[in-house]
Each structure stands twice: as structure tokens, then as C-alpha cells.
Structure 1
């Protein structure tokens, strides 16, 4: 029995050794077969971790750097190394589609330079861009502004363009929509360079005003303004509707006229839109100085750090920015023109209206419309003042700048009632009948108008005394208003 057990054991060991030897012998052959299978491709994708392939782009040795060799040195662009493991393009992917034909040469030229040869403008996004360009090519010769006598008739008060003055509106109406859209797209593309955001920037810029095309605007004008219509139109393009970041693109298009854009993408679109408009108006002559944030004329540090009756500027709310003073600004002229409106009533279709009213305590309160009228009278030739009519952010920034400059050079403003980030103070206007309503007003000092408070009061008409018996300051945020 022992002999049989020993023989069986030896046979078993022999079989194990033979199996191991056979396995080792077959490994090169199997490795070769596996390599051949991978090279030929069998429809399956190889999966590797970044750690396993990290040696491809991280050099551990002291290989000398070579500017002409993408694999030399210690750092390689991730986009370059990606080519080493991503799936090769199929034969169908490499078939070039014929370029679209455009009737308007400016659009054709834009496509050749900004789309056709851009490596990262491809796939669904390129399709969307081409579709928008086709819309602009077919109907984009319409005016680039809407809101006053547009195809829908009547004009919508919600349309930002309707806020332009008659002169600015008539000038911008001569700029075709396609030309304005291409100008905004070029500016927006310049902010993106040749990066991954280029295609999205082109879609947003080219499509932000597509809702102004008469056929679209006429169809939807009764329920929406042009940013909303633009989103509806773009949503009708299947490739746009399927984009994974469609909501982000919609938000930029829908909010490009917002005073406080919610994200940087929308901020950039709004800035490019504004810059294009400024250049368009400037092309008609009377070029103005850009009303953009610059070195502050009066540094914030030099301003009185008082507590504002409304409290500190709330985060997320619009806070005006001090601008570089335009060359047409003159403090004496501003105060002289404002003085002509103190305690004067204006007759309007809806009744009498006041703009600036004095009080016995030596304060003179003006609504911002009064100051804006004066700015228009002095600097109305400036294209950017014209633009500010339809750009609330720019308008407030300019008003803010002028108010604080009047305080600096003429001591004209009661700055103890205004803190940084404000150019008005909240008040309650009380009528002779005891009713009150809240309103933001600019607090001037009576002496800035070269008159005593008693003199100004003696010139106040009785009708105005009925309309404004008193103006109470809202000293605290929670103060109770008269009702």
C-alpha cells in the first residue's frame, strides 16, 4: 500500500510540474494573440486606470526638455496625451461634409474664419451654429432693435430696446441683426480664445438676439420679449435641445439684459453686447469715452464711512460702480440746469409732476429722472449716454458717478444720508392730506443752488405744497412709513 501511495504521489507531482511548464510555454503565444487581437480590434474597448498609464505623460528620468517634442520634459498637455488612448475616429467620422452656402458674404466669411477650421467647434455644437447662421442669412437683414413699431405692432414696454431714445433707436435700426450678432460673436469668441468654450460662446452670441427676427417676434411678442423668444427658437433645434449644458446657455441668453447677471458667462455676453452697441453708435460720429469702470475719480477710501439709512449694500443686489468722468461733465452746468427744476411742476398727460422739491430744513430732494435729464442735455451727443437709456446698469453707474462728483467738487450732496454703494436715500413723501409713499431721492444741500432755504420755500407753488407737505427720512431699515 505504501508503495502504491508513493507512486501515485510522484505521478501527481509530475502532472503539476508538466502543467506549469506547459502554461509558461504558452504565455508568449497567448500574449502575441492578445496583442494581435487588440491591434485588429474586436469591438471592445480596453480599460486602463490613470495610474496605469501615468508613465505616458510623466517623465521620471532626466530627459532633456525639447520644445519641439511634445513628450519631452516633465509636463505634457492633457489634451495631447488624450490622443494616445481615445478611440480612433471611424471612417464615417472622417468624411468631410460640404460647407453650407450663405447668401450674405459677411456670414460666409464669419463661417470660414470662426467655425470651419476650428478644431473644437464640431459635432452637435457646430450643427447648432450653422443653423443659427442660416436663420440670420435668411431673415437677419431686419433691424437689430425691436420694441418700437416692430412687426408685431405697438411695441412692448418690456423690450429693453424700447427704452432707447428716438435718435439712438433710429440709428441702431439701420444696423441689420445679422451684423450685430456677428460683431457680438467675434468679441465673445475673443474672450474664449481657442479653448473648449469657444463653441458655446459662438452659440450664445449668435443666438442671443435671434428672437428679434420678425417671423419669430411676431409669433411670440404678446407673451415674451426677445431673450425669451430666442430661447424658444433655439430650443426648436434638436441638437441644441440635446446639449448637456443647455440650461447654462439658456440662462446666459435669457439674462443678458439683467442688471446683475447671475454668472460670469452672462456677464461676458452682456459686456460684448454693450461694446458692440457702443461701436455701432460711435460709427455714426460723436464718439464718446467708454463709460466703463476705471480709476475712481473719488477713491472709496476718501468717502465718509457713514452708516446708510438703508444699511450696507446687500450681497447679490446691484451696487453702482464709479466710472471715469466723461469729458462733457461740468459741475456748474449740472447744478445750474438742476436749479431750473427746483419747485417747478411739469404738466403731463396724467397730471402735474414734480422732479425737485425744497424743504424748510435746508435739504432739496431730486428724483433720479431729473438728474438724468440734465445728463442728457449736456452729454446727449455721447453714444454711450444714448446706450444707457436701455442699459440700467450703465445708467445707474453714471448717475452714481455724477452724484459723488458733485459732492466732491461742490459739496452739493448731503453725504451723511448716503453711504458707499448708494447715490440716493430712501424717504417717505407725505402729502397735505396725510398720505405717504416711499421713494428714493437724491439729497442736495440748498446752498448748492445759491439760495437760502427760505427763498426757495417762498417760490414753491401752492399745488406743490399740496403734493409734498413733508419728506421724512428713513433713518432705520425697520422704520415705519406713514400710510
Structure 2
């Protein structure tokens, strides 16, 4: 009988050891589970350096925690690999994973993925709303009909792509992640599932703000208030680089969508009519008016009969000394001379020693020079901002008075350009608005003429258009 006790004692000991082992394993599993919920910064406090001689309770060696880092990578990939249905959503998701400007903006990227998943699921609705009281409800019916062909998913991605282009052109990559969140989320108030009280009141920007505020991770973003303000004001007068970029990207995306549905050729004719007053043979008046109406709605412009020149106040000079450098400005203008983009041109030389620039070039170069000098209020100024007229007038006045490179006899003192009739050999005359420069400011006129493409050699004569007043 006594021989049985050692066996019993041994059995009890084994059971106790088994229980203790189970408890230890569960403790380690719980610890690992807890560690998996920690941020990397907190996790880093839990490991010891390799040469640490004294182990502190609760502190692990990095080798013991390495598996958690590998798991974190797998988890992060799993979060971003949502089951997206639409090919364009899938393509954009791939870009989100590879864009380098998101490397230090993981929170913004995660929010972008959440919005993308929502748009992929519900974004096949029209990208415009016709609710009474909404800003888009004031659009002409043809505008609504044309732009409604673009889905909300496609429009949101169009705006996001324009954001990348605009900010990359200004080397402002650090602003892209926050602006991307705003771009993807700016019209979420148009989702059918969002048609609550704010939508019914015709406030899709406010409804969008309410939806994006509920997106997981959004409230943790440091610039969430700036993003919400940009969304709220994207049809009004936005503030700051983020807000102004969103509005401009939205407008350019709409223009892109207009070109797709109305037809690139017809839209190009309208653009040329604004820039050069070129003949519009293939565009019927009704089609031309429809396109103009849609463009006016997109950009918030009026197409009512223009006021007489006497009703437009001449621009006033403003201080451009912070960023303007005459020599640098002229050097940046030079590459535009006699350069063709397809059949379009922005500046051309004439054998009589003059170079004619479209105002669009003066503005583009002014923005670039201002951006290089860090003057972002000029670089990001809206195209329809009346202050830009004053900026261009100041630039031309300084070039006119201090550097004598403007052909002052061809434009009035109170204006920065004028209308000219361009006579061509094989086509009708066309009227354009140009600022004339003396060619000497850009080098040899002979070299310019030799490098002139055949299309521009077709220009025989340029003369002031006396049938119309100057434009400021």
C-alpha cells in the first residue's frame, strides 16, 4: 500500500506542472495580444538594447518582439487590401500604396482607403445633385444633364488626381495627403445613404463633412479642421493652400468631364475663342452656347453680356517686390516663344522685332516665379481672382517703365495688353489678346525667326484691332 503513494504524488505533481504551464502559455498569449495592440512608439519602450546587462521586469529583448513587427506589416497590408469592385478603384488603391508622399502620412492614407471603399460601394450615383437650395441646383439643366453622366466615384478620383498634379507642379508634396483626404471626401454628401436632413436642405458640402468626420481614423488627423473647412467652402471662397487647391482641382476635374461628354474638339474651339477669338466652323451656335453655359456654371462665372470697357475699373498697381525679378521673369518667358502644342501657340515672334505673348503666359510665369520665392498667395490664386489683373498690370508696368521691354506704343498705359488682328496666309484673320514685347529682350530676332515652325510662318501681319477697346 505504501508503494502506491510515490506514484500518486508523482501524478499530482505532473498535473500541477501541466496547469502551471497552461497558465504561463495563456499569460504569454495575453501579453502578445496586448503587445499587438500597442503602437510602435509604445512597443519600442518595451525592448532592451542587446548589451543591457540587467533585465528590467516587463522589458523584452528586440529579438523577442521581432515577430510582432512582421505581423504588423501583414495586418497593415490586410487593412489596405479591401475587396474593391471597380477597376478604377483598384488602380487608385495601388497608387495609394506606392505614392511616396504617404510614407510619413499613414493616418491620411488609411482614411483615404476607408473613403475609397465607401465610394467603391456606393459611388455609382450621379456626381451632381438637383436638390432645391444646393449650389448645383442653380446650374442650368443642360449642365446637370451633362455632368450627371459622371459617377461620384469617377468625379472624386478625378479631383484627387488633379490635386496630385497641382501640388506636385508647385513642389508642395507635403500638402498632398491632407488635400487627398479632402478631395476623396468633398462630395460624400451626395451618396444616397447620406440623404438626410442636411442633404434635403441642399447642403451637400455640410453633409460630406458630417460623413467624413465619422470615417475611422479621421478624428486622429492633425489637420482635420482644415480638411473640413476646405470641404465646406469648396463651392465658395476657400482659405489657404489646401482649400484653394481643392476648389481648383474640383473645377479642373469638371472641365475634364465636360470635355469627355461634350467632345474635346468642341471644347477646344471654345477655349480658342476665349484666347484667340479664332473662327469656329464646326461648332454650331446652340452647341457653343451650351458649352459656355456649362463652363460658366462650373467656374461660377456669368455669361451675361459683358459690361462696356468704361464700366470696368482700370487695375491698380500692387507691390510685387517680394517675388518679382525682371531678368528672371524674361528668362522664363523665352521658352514659350514660337513653341507649338499641337496646333496651339501661346507666343510668337515677328520679323519686325516684336514678340506677342498671350496673357495666359504672363500669368503662368508670374505664378511660377512667385512660387519659387515662397509667395504662395500669388502662386495659388484662383484663376478668376480679380487681384490677378492687378498683379499682371504691375508686372507689365514695371517692365514697361523700368526695363523698356514692352512695346508701349501698341497698348494703352492703363492696360497690360490689347486686341490684335493676326493676318494669316492660308486662313482667315483671327483676333487675339496679346502683350507685345521688344524681341531684343529675348535675344536675336533672326534666330527666333529661323526656329519658327511652319504653322507660325503662316502669320503675315499683326496689327492693333481698332474696332475694340483695350482690355485690362
Q: TM-score, normalised by structure 1?
A: 0.45
* Greater helix proportion: 2
Q: TM-score, normalised by structure 2?
A: 0.46
Bigger-Rg structure (1/2): 1
